[in-house]
Structure 1
Amino acid sequence: MTTLYITGAGVSAESGIPTFRGEDGFWSIGSRNYTPQQMATRAMYEQNPAEFLKWYYHRFVTYRHHGPNAAHYWLADKQLITQNIDGLDGKAGNEQFISIHGRIDKVTPFHIQGEDVEVDMAPWDEVDENNLTMSLLDLFKISSKGPELNVSLKPLVLLFDEFYTDLYGIDCAQKRMWDASKMVFMGTSFSVNITQMALDIARQKGIPIEVVDPEPTHIMHANVEYFAMTAKEYIDRDKRSQL
């Protein structure tokens, strides 16, 4: 039996990283001039790269040194697709996890979606926070012309107005969904396309689903079990059942 785990921001909450849509979440906080839904777009990166990069730096990059928690370590040997970009699953030892929305520690050349490009380490440690705007624009090779294709850099993050490509591992993710005999969704609000894609496949296959979240979203599926608890509580429960 192959169980596929699909995780969201709730799994990283115990590592001190705010969830996306909670009261302290990223999407409840905008920039001074734009809503988060406006900020997290390719259009914003193209039209106002300074505003985009400052927002991205403050909302995501400042958490880059946080460490994994018990849930990440428990998932280290599991088939895993995560919506999180924090890279904590890799830090915990999972060498095959799919980070379907990107990674805060990676960048690519700015490119047309679907093109095959190199992935490099992000230059965050070189940022001068005393001169944040100019430092970010310089490090990401953005001139007064704005981002230039195949010249400028772009954070490896899937934005609201972008689509899944193999750069983010979508082909491998879909294969794991089709190969799974069970799916466990942990700490996700089911508000993104990847969870809907997985649910559609689970329904077609008629496989069991578990939903783990303190306030689980109820979904349309014939064989679903809900666990109104945190990922840590679920893991502790699983460990006790193994005794």
Structure 2
Amino acid sequence: MNTLYITGAGVSAESGIPTFRGKDGFWTIGSKNYTPQEMATRRMYENNPTQFLSWYYHRFATYRNHGPNDVHFWLADKNLITQNIDGLDGKADNTNYIAIHGRLDQMTLYHNQEQDPKHENISNSKSKVQPIATPWDTVDANNITPTLLQLFNIDPETQNPTLYQSYKPYVLLFDEYYTELYRISEARQRMLDADRIIFMGTSFNVNITQMALEIAINQNKPIEVVDPNPINIPHLYVKYHKMKAFAYIQHH
């Protein structure tokens, strides 16, 4: 049976990675407290890159040295799409998983989403947008803002990112949409090809899980939900495992 696994933040919680929407994702600029949904936007990156990058660094990059847990290793040889950007599935040696929301250890050239590099024939050689490693270890913890601007090639005077010169974290932000840079067509094809889809540790709050559910429901594919407190899925062929992912793998 061709089983597709789709994982969310609950899988990485055992590795000490906090869930994205937790209270520790909040960020204060001046007197205003911003939510993760307000910080993690392309608009914030474009209009206030120093605050965006500082938040991103403290919120995500500080977890870059965390290691995979037993669930990641169990999934290492599985057909997998993850919503997590922590890269722990890669560290567990899954060589063909799709990080549908990007990876915190990588960055790309800042580019127009409308000119998705996998689809458009863009003549400018600078616009060959591919994920590359982000050298987070070059960031000076005592001098964060200047070194972050330097790392992402943003002019320290204007403090504005420049298209096809500056870099942006390889992460899908709330006001962006899935493109081929994030392997969206391949992800959809995996959903179509799957005989069964198992969701692990996800709250079903993002578009990728909705896409998978629609495909499963329309094609009468069986689905399974691994979560201590699963939401109700309006589908005839659904099985619930009311447990954490770690408990699930002990029996499968």
Smaller-chain TM-score bracket: over 0.9
- How do 1:131-170 and structure 2 match up within 5 A? 131-143=143-155, 144-145=157-158, 146-170=160-184
How many angstroms apart in 2 are the aligned matches of 1:115 and 1:236? Answer: 41
1:128 partnered with 2:140: yes
Counterpart among 196, 199, 206 of residue 182 in structure 1 = 196
Partner in structure 1 of residue 43 of structure 2: 43
Kindly report the root-mean-square deviation, in angstroms, between the aligned alpha carbons of the 2 structures. Answer: 1.1
Cα distance in 1 for residues equivalent to 2:130 and 2:15 = 30
| Separation in 2, partners of 1:232, 1:217 | 19
How far does residue 175 in structure 1 lie from its aligned partner after superposition? 0.5
Deviation, structure 1 residue 215: 1.2
DSSP-derived class of the 2:177 partner: coil
1:205 equivalent to 2:202? Answer no
CA gap of 1:203–1:25, structure 2 versus 1, over 3 A, is farther
Q: Displaced runs of 4+ in structure 1, greater than 4 A?
A: none
Q: Which structure 2 segments of 5+ residues have no match? A: 118-128
1:220 aligned residue (213, 222, 234): 234
Amino acid at match of 2:135: P
Is 1:31–1:55's contact at 8 Å kept on the other side of the alignment?
Answer: no
Question: By how many angstroms is 1:25 displaced?
Answer: 5.5
Deviations 1:139-182 (A, max 9, x none): 11111330000010000000000000011110110000000010
Percent identical pairs in the alignment equals: 62
Q: Please state how far the C-alpha of 1:53 moved relative to its aligned partner.
A: 0.2
> What amino acid is aligned across from residue 202 of structure 2 in structure 1?
T
TM-score (norm 1): 0.94
Q: CA deviation at 1:14?
A: 0.6
The whole-number CA distance in structure 2 between the counterparts of 1:78 and 1:170 is 18
Residue type at the aligned position of 1:31: T
Aligned partner of 1:47: which letter? N
Residue in 1 that maps onto 2:131: 119
Q: 1:18 aligns to what? A: 18
Q: Which residue of 2 aligns with 1:196?
A: 210
Q: Secondary structure at the match of 1:4?
A: strand
Q: Is the 8 A contact 2:106 2:133 kept in 1?
A: yes
| Aligned match for 1:30, one of 27, 30, 33 | 27
Q: What is the identity, as a one-letter code, of the residue corresponding to 2:140?
A: D
Q: Alignment partner of 1:5: what SS?
A: strand
Q: 1:62 to 1:228 in 2, by over 3 A?
A: same
Q: Does the 8 A contact of 2:225 with 2:240 survive in 1?
A: yes
Give the TM-score taking structure 2 as reference length.
Answer: 0.90
Point out the structure with the larger helix share. 1
2:225 alignment partner, SS class: strand
The C-alpha deviation readout for 1:86-142, integer Å capped at 9, x for no partner, is: 110011010000000000010111001143112211021100110101110111111
Displacement, 1:20?
2.3
Q: 1:222 to 1:99 in 2, by over 3 A?
A: same
Unaligned runs of 5+ in 1: 239-243
Residue 4 of structure 1: aligned partner: 4
Does residue 1:81 correspond to 2:95, yes or no?
no
Counterpart of 1:75 in structure 2: which amino acid? L
